Structure 1
Amino acid sequence: MVNLFPQIKNVSIEKLTMGIINPMTKELSTPHQLIEDHEALLHLIHQLRSQKRLALDTESNSLYAYREQVCLIQISIPGIDYLLDTVHLTDLSPLGKLMKDDRVEKVLHGAEYDVICLKRDFNFTITNLFDTRVALRTLGRKRTGLGDVLEEEFGVKLNKKWQRANWGQRPLPEELLNYARLDTHFLLTLRDRLTKHLKEKGRWDEAKEECERISQFEPNDHDFHPNKFWKISNAKQLRPDQAAILKELYCFREEQARHLNRPPFKVIPDKTLLTIAQSKPRSAEKLLELPGMTSGQIRRYGQGLLNAVEQGLRSPPPPRPKSERMDDDVVNRYKRLRKWRKQTAEAR
């Protein structure tokens, strides 16, 4: 593995993080500020406009809500980290203008998801984007996850305890805010190091072209449609009568998830829906015999699931989606490109 920071090779974590991580609290020793009101936001935007670049990240509540939303935006500049509480901030248009300002470079790591979420929730367009993960891949790095990079290059280990945190809860614990800061705190330093290596190896234009492509990503259509049940794994292997049942089960689960404000998979997983459709149970006892079903689910959703099975049995089979098979020339070009990509990556 190529170390992008040869001058800090073999330095102990204690020395490496001195002045960055407080050895007593294991927290960042530089200040941070939580932005919760419009006046503080305007003051921040005024300050950020004078910066050449800023580091950016987002946190969403996809594991805890029917429709996920961005709940926190992290922004770092030299010497301080900002945490924008988007649950309390009702007007983020000043930040949107800054995101579109190409005089300020926005540095992200794995930017695709953030670009899509910020566009979806706030209609932000991000210009002059630099993705450190793209840069690492362009340089031939294999381990490009932020946790790996922070540990390998800065000696900082992310606490996995917070990986499945509910970012929509309020107030956010101070420990969780400190965890969020790590996603942006080191990105500007990383960006400078990567830029140097990209230019030395003649790969700067390649990386910037990919960053530009990512900045133009658009949100997918997440609106509910009954026929999206076909996207469940192995749904297309069902018999027509089973497919009709799965469609009704899918619609029932969506209704429950919306009512409870929970992700559909946390109501009943796809695999369990598929099992019910295949088994066609007609009683609560038969439902409980199925793998994946719990007594709690039977208590909350049992009658609704049985009703969906009955409705599916009475319904005509849903039309199967048309196959979108690529022609042979496209398949062959794709295979050649994959082979070229693999050979190019191995040569780096």
Structure 2
Amino acid sequence: MNEYQLITDTATLETFVDELRSADFVTVDTEFMRESTYYPELCLIQIAGNGKAAAVDPKADIDMESLLDLLVEDEVLKVMHAAGQDVEIVYNLTGKTPWPLFDTQIAAMALGLGEQLGYAGLVQQMLGVTLDKGARFTDWARRPLDQRQLDYAVADVTHLADLFPKMLADIKRLDRGSWLDEDMKRLTDPETYANNPDKAWMRVKFQGRNPEALGRLKALAAWREREAQEKDLPRGRIVKDETLADLAGHPPKGQQDLSRIRGLSKTWASNDIGARLMEAVENAAPMPKSEMPDKPKGRPRLGADSALIADLLKLLLKVRSKEADVAAKLIGRAQDLERIAAGERHDIPMLTGWRYEVFGKDALALVEGNLSFAVKDGSMVMTEI
């Protein structure tokens, strides 16, 4: 699939999309810029299917509706690599996420090809092709794009079209389709991408559980989110997280105090944005009990014995992931191993679904004294007690 077209008008796009509707699958990638905006600035969509490929220019005078409908409405399978940011862009444009979806990075972990393997590495490993990444620092918002930049962008979806059938065959051979279903549903959950100002406080690190301070944090984070959305600026360009947390914990008594707060411009002591910040502080209500956050489920404090158990669980994870030929990171995180070692059992992904069958049940057997390590013929084996 060496030929492709650059689409800059609505009629050509609609014709191309109609041809894709009969495809078994389409491969999709995007190029975007987000350094100076709140929302990622979509600069190019690359898509391939039925042996044809195109780069669609959303910055041209073009109606994208037909393509967006294909991504979120049609039953044709969408194949992407490390799809999180691409899914976010589609959600921002439509309020929906692409479905059905196959993420080749997650599939690579399920096939034991590496921990979050990069696209170039995956193409090299499975297709024996070395990608030219010389255009990866392109400013995709600038026009015109030259031939090399377009070739570089479209190559991602053309190689993806060759990768997917091979990966799908391996997934079917190993009967791991159900492994991917759970992760794909999580990846395409619209809640992951919704920028709800009233929930923005949950992303800010804050020490303490004082209802008044948390109420101010919620009000300030919502205010910042709306300011950032309205101005289309990164939220950190409005106020950084650490300054927001400091304002919540130590609220200024009046707007004039804003000139003495590190991280804020002195002009905020008298301008409109400073007044809106103070309005958020002054109108903040204590956080109700129903909204109080759970105590953080960070890494538990482990005693000497529990720390040793956690080390054994990490060893077990290495053994089981090697036996199953799956990336250990797809099964679970070190933090969750420590929670199991500390006696926790609830809300731990590796204790449910396929992860439980591959690892979780043995992890519980180990901590409950029903499983032990042994060395046989120079290899690590597990022995039931």
Same fold (TM over 0.5): yes
Residues in 2 aligned to 1:342 and 1:90: alpha-carbon distance in whole angstroms = 49
Question: Which residue number corresponds to residue 26 of structure 1?
Answer: none
Question: Which residue number corresponds to residue 292 of structure 2?
Answer: 322
Q: Which of 71, 90, 106 is matched with 2:78 structurally?
A: 106
Partner SS for 2:5: strand
Residues 213 and 286 in structure 2, CA contact (< 8 A), matched pair in contact too: no
- Equivalenced residue count is 304
Offset, 1:339: 6.4
Residues in 1 aligned to 2:95 and 2:199: alpha-carbon distance in whole angstroms = 25
1:61-72, aligned counterparts within 5 Å? 61-68=33-40, 70-72=42-44
User: Can you list the C-alpha shifts for 1:147-190, whole angstroms capped at 9, x where unaligned?
Assistant: 4324545322635853xx765x3526335544432432311111
Residues in 1 aligned to 2:43 and 2:213: alpha-carbon distance in whole angstroms = 39
Partner SS for 2:194: coil
Q: Structure 1 residue 331 and structure 2 residue 346: aligned?
A: yes
Which amino acid in structure 2 is aligned with residue 275 of structure 1?
Answer: D
Closer/same/farther in 2, CA of residues 54 and 323 from structure 1, 3 Å limit: closer
TM-score by length of 2: 0.61
Residues 14 and 67 in structure 2, CA contact (< 8 A), matched pair in contact too: yes
Q: Percent identity?
A: 22
1:171-320, aligned counterparts within 5 Å? 171=143, 173-174=145-146, 176-200=149-173, 202-203=174-175, 205-206=177-178, 209-210=181-182, 213=185, 217-220=189-192, 222=194, 224-225=196-197, 227-235=198-206, 237=208, 239=210, 242-243=213-214, 245-247=216-218, 249-280=220-251, 283=257, 286-287=260-261, 290=262, 293=263, 298=265, 301=268, 303=270, 307=275, 311=279, 314-315=282-283, 317-320=285-288
Q: Structure 1 residue 53 and structure 2 residue 25: aligned?
A: yes
Question: Which residue number corresponds to residue 146 of structure 1?
Answer: 119
Offset, 1:119: 4.8
Unaligned ranges ≥5, structure 2:
298-342, 363-379
Offset, 1:215: 8.3
Closer/same/farther in 2, CA of residues 123 and 96 from structure 1, 3 Å limit: farther
Instruction: Quote the RMSD (CA, aligned, Å).
Output: 4.3
Residues 8 and 57 in structure 2, CA contact (< 8 A), matched pair in contact too: yes
Residues 31 and 45 in structure 2, CA contact (< 8 A), matched pair in contact too: yes
Which amino acid in structure 1 is aligned with residue 265 of structure 2?
Answer: I
Residues in 2 aligned to 1:313 and 1:205: alpha-carbon distance in whole angstroms = 50
Greater relative CO, 1 or 2 (CA 8 Å, sep 6+): 1
Question: Which residue number corresponds to residue 62 of structure 2?
Answer: 89
Please identify, of 189-198 and 329-338, the stretch whose mean Cα deviation from structure 2 is larger.
329-338
Which amino acid in structure 1 is aligned with residue 346 of structure 2?
Answer: V
Offset, 1:140: 1.9
Closer/same/farther in 2, CA of residues 95 and 224 from structure 1, 3 Å limit: closer
Residues in 1 aligned to 2:136 and 2:268: alpha-carbon distance in whole angstroms = 31
Residues 27 and 78 in structure 2, CA contact (< 8 A), matched pair in contact too: yes
Which amino acid in structure 2 is aligned with residue 32 of structure 1?
Answer: Y
TM-score by length of 1: 0.66
Offset, 1:82: 1.1
Residues 116 and 219 in structure 1, CA contact (< 8 A), matched pair in contact too: no
Question: Which residue number corresponds to residue 133 of structure 2?
Answer: 158
Residues 72 and 83 in structure 1, CA contact (< 8 A), matched pair in contact too: yes
Residues 30 and 43 in structure 2, CA contact (< 8 A), matched pair in contact too: yes
Residues 223 and 277 in structure 2, CA contact (< 8 A), matched pair in contact too: no
Question: Which residue number corresponds to residue 6 of structure 1?
Answer: none
Closer/same/farther in 2, CA of residues 82 and 299 from structure 1, 3 Å limit: farther
Offset, 1:58: 2.9
Q: Structure 1 residue 41 and structure 2 residue 13: aligned?
A: yes
Q: Which of 40, 48, 55 is matched with 1:76 structurally?
A: 48
Residues in 2 aligned to 1:310 and 1:97: alpha-carbon distance in whole angstroms = 45
Residues in 1 aligned to 2:10 and 2:194: alpha-carbon distance in whole angstroms = 30
Residues in 2 aligned to 1:335 and 1:256: alpha-carbon distance in whole angstroms = 39
Which amino acid in structure 1 is aligned with residue 131 of structure 2?
Answer: V
Partner SS for 1:54: strand
Residues 42 and 94 in structure 1, CA contact (< 8 A), matched pair in contact too: yes
Closer/same/farther in 2, CA of residues 206 and 284 from structure 1, 3 Å limit: closer
Please identify, of 185-194 and 202-211, the stretch whose mean Cα deviation from structure 2 is larger.
202-211
Residues in 2 aligned to 1:195 and 1:239: alpha-carbon distance in whole angstroms = 51
